[in-house]
Amino acid sequence: MVFIKDVVASVILDSRKEKTIQITVITTAGKFTSSAPQGKSTGKFEVKTYKKSIEEDIKSLKKMMEYLGEDDFTEFDDLKKVEDILAGHTGSNTVIAFEYSLLKAIAKENGKEVWEIIYPDSDKSKMKFPRLVGNCIGGGKHTRGLGERELKPEFQEFLLIPDSENVLSSWNVNKTARANANVILGKVDGLFKSKPNDENAWQTSLDNKRVLEIVDDIKEEVMDEFSIKLDCGLDVAASSFYSRKKYRYGNPKFDRTIEEQIDYLSNLIKNFRIFYIEDPFDEEDFESFAVLQKKFPKAMIVGDDLTVTNSKRLEKAIKMKSITGIIVKPNQCGSLIEVKRVCELAKKNNIKIIFSHRSGETTENILADLAFGFGADFLKCSIVGKEREAKIERLIEISKKLN
C-alpha cells in the first residue's frame, strides 16, 4: 500500500528544448520521478496540455497535495483517485507525469515491473512484444523546409516497420535502413544536409512520391541483408494541410478535393504496397477514413488526430468502420484510466494498438512498459536519439528479463 508524502514538480526541457513538466512523487515506497512529452502536430480534440501554463499547474498541484496525501494506492485502477482530485485543476501533461511516477511507486511496493501492474493476472507466456515503427524520413510540421522555397514533403512521417517481435533485431534493421536513407538522399537531393528533424528523421526537399520511391529501394536492400520483412508506413497528418475543404499541397503546389485525396492515396497504397497509413484525412472526416478502409481491407488505416486516445471518438470510428488501428498517446487524454478503456475497447473490436511517442520527447521510458503491459501491437518511437532510444532500450530490457 502506497501513501504520498510530498510532490515536487519542476520545469525541464524536452528534445526540442521547449518547456515540459517533471514530477517527483515522494511516497512510502520511495521517491519516483517522471516527465511528460509534448506534441507539435496536435489534434484539436486533445485535452489541453496545461490548464493555463506549466507554472500554474505546478502551483495547483502543490495546493492539491493535502487531498492527494489522504488516499492509499495499491493497484493500477487506484489512479482514478488521482484523476478525480486533479480534474479541472491541471492539464493532461501534469496528470500523466504524476500518474507515471505513482505507477512506478505502486510497482516498487509490489515488487513488480511497471508493466506487471497493468494486468497483474496476465499469462506472461502469452504476452507479445510490439513491432517497432520507426520514422525514417520526415516532413510536415516536424520538419523545416529546405532551400529558398522551403521545400519538404507534406506527409509528416515515412515509416519503417520490421515484421518481427524481436525488438533488438527490428531496431538494427531500422538503424541500417536509416543509414542507407542518408546515403541515398545525399545523392539525389541537392539540398540535403544530413540534418534530422524533431523526431530524428531525415529532412529532405523531395516530394512525397520521390521519398516513397527511396523508401521502397531501402526496404529491398535491408530485407536482403537481414532476411526480415520490412513494411512501409505513412503518417500523412492530413489535418495539418487541410483547409476550406481542400488538401493544400506545396511540393509541388496542388490543391486536392476530398475525392482527389482518396484517389491519390489509393494510388500510393497500391503502387508502394503501403501497409500502414495514419491520419490520411482531416481529423473530423470519419467518412473518408471508412472509404479508404473499405477499398484496402488489408492495409492498416490508423487514427491519431481522428481519435486522440479518446474512447468516445474510438467508438464512433468503430461504428463507422473508419479505422483498423489506433494511436495511443497518454498525454492526449491525460488519463491512464482512459488509456486502459481505449485499449480494452480496441482489443474487443480487433483494432490494432500503436503506443506512440511525441515529437517533443524526454528520456522517460515508461511508454515501453505501457505498450507491453497493454498488449500493444506496435510501439512507435522513431529510430535514433537518446529520448527515442530510451523507450526501445527499455523494451529490450523487458525482453531480456522475460527470456
Residues 265 and 305 occupy one common structural domain: yes
∠ CA(337), CA(340), CA(341), 5° rounding?
90
165/174 Cα distance (integer angstroms): 13
Q: What is the number of domains present in the chain?
A: 2
211 and 171 both lie in a single domain: yes
Q: Are strands 242-243 and 246-250 parallel, antiparallel or unpaired?
A: antiparallel
Does 271 share its domain with 393? yes
Written as nine digits, the cell of 66 is 493535502
Asked if residue 312 and residue 184 are part of one domain, the reply reads: yes
**% of the chain with per-residue pLDDT over 90:** 91
Question: Average of pLDDT values for 177-184?
Answer: 97
Q: Using CA atoms, how far apart are residues 82 and 73, in angstroms rounded to an integer?
A: 10
Among 112, 138, 157, the domain boundary falls at 112
- Among residues 89, 112, 135, the one where a domain terminates is 112
Q: What's the grid cell of residue 160?
A: 519503417
Asked if pLDDT for residue 39 goes beyond 90, the answer is: no
| Strand pairing class (253-256; 246-250) | antiparallel
Q: Alpha carbon 46 to chain centroid distance?
A: 14
Same domain, 325 and 281: yes
Residue 165 lies in a domain: yes
Contact between 12 and 22 under an 8 Å Cβ cutoff? The reply is yes
Cell numbers describing residue 82: 488521482
380 domain residue, yes or no: yes
Residue of 104, 152, 329, 352 with catalytic role: 329
Going by pLDDT thresholds of 50, 70 and 90, the confidence category of residue 40 is confident
Do 312 and 164 reside in the same domain of the chain?
yes
Same structural domain, 132 and 66 = no
DSSP 163: S
User: Which tens digits make up the pLDDT trace of 304-347?
Assistant: 999 999 999 999 999 999 999 999 999 999 999 999 999 999 99
Cβ neighbours for 400, distance < 8 A, ≥ 6 positions apart: none
18 is a catalytic site residue? no
Among 112, 140, 175, residue at a domain's last position? 112
Q: Residue 369: which CATH number? A: 3.20.20.120
Look at residue 124 in the predicted model and tell me its pLDDT. Answer: 82
Output the pLDDT for position 403.
82
Confidence of residue 69 (pLDDT cuts 50, 70, 90): confident
Q: What is the pLDDT of residue 123?
A: 85
On whether both 340 and 276 belong to a single domain, the answer is yes
Please, which residues bridge with residue 131 across strands? 378
Same domain, 184 and 38: no
154 domain-assigned = yes
158: which 3 cell numbers?
515515412
In a domain, 211, yes or no: yes
Is the pLDDT assigned to residue 52 strictly greater than 90?
yes
For residue 231, list its beta bridge partners. Answer: 161
Do residues 12 and 152 share a domain?
no
Residue 322 is predicted with a pLDDT of 98
At 370-391, the pLDDT tens digits run 999 999 999 999 999 999 999 9
> Among 109, 199, 361, 364, which one carries the catalytic annotation?
199
- What pLDDT is stored for residue 325 in this prediction? 98
298 catalytic per annotation: no
The answer to the question of residue 201 being in a domain is yes
Handedness of CA 203, 204, 207, 211 (dihedral sign): negative
Whole-angstrom distance, CA of residue 279 vs CA of residue 323: 10
As a whole number, the mean pLDDT across the chain is 96
Q: Give, in order, the Cα–Cα distances in Å from 48 to each of 61, 96, 344, 369.
A: 16, 12, 24, 24
From 82, 39, 95, select the one nearest 333 (Cα to Cα).
Answer: 95
pLDDT class of 126 with cuts at 50, 70, 90: confident
Confidence at residue 379, expressed as pLDDT on a 0 to 100 scale: 98
User: What is the distance between the terminal CA atoms of the chain, rounded to a whole angstrom?
Assistant: 29
| Percentage of the chain modeled with pLDDT above 70 | 100
Grid cell listed for 198: 524533431
Residue 344: CB atoms within 10 A of its CB come to 13
Cell of 242: 487541410
Do residues 184 and 239 both lie within one domain?
A: yes
What average pLDDT does the segment 250-255 reach? 95
DSSP secondary structure code for residue 129 in this structure: P
Q: How much is the pLDDT for 343?
A: 98
The band of 142, judged by pLDDT with boundaries at 50, 70 and 90, is confident
Instruction: Establish if 119 belongs to a structural domain.
Output: no
Quick: pLDDT tens for 234-247.
999 999 999 999 99
User: For residue 125, what pLDDT is reported?
Assistant: 79
Tens-place pLDDT, residues 25-37: 999 999 999 999 9
CATH of the domain at 84: 3.30.390.10
Range of the domain at 353: 124-402
pLDDT computed for residue 199 by the predictor: 93
Same domain, 372 and 273: yes
β-pairing, 246-250 vs 157-162, is unpaired
Residue 137 pLDDT > 80: yes
Decide which of 279 and 69 is more confident: 279
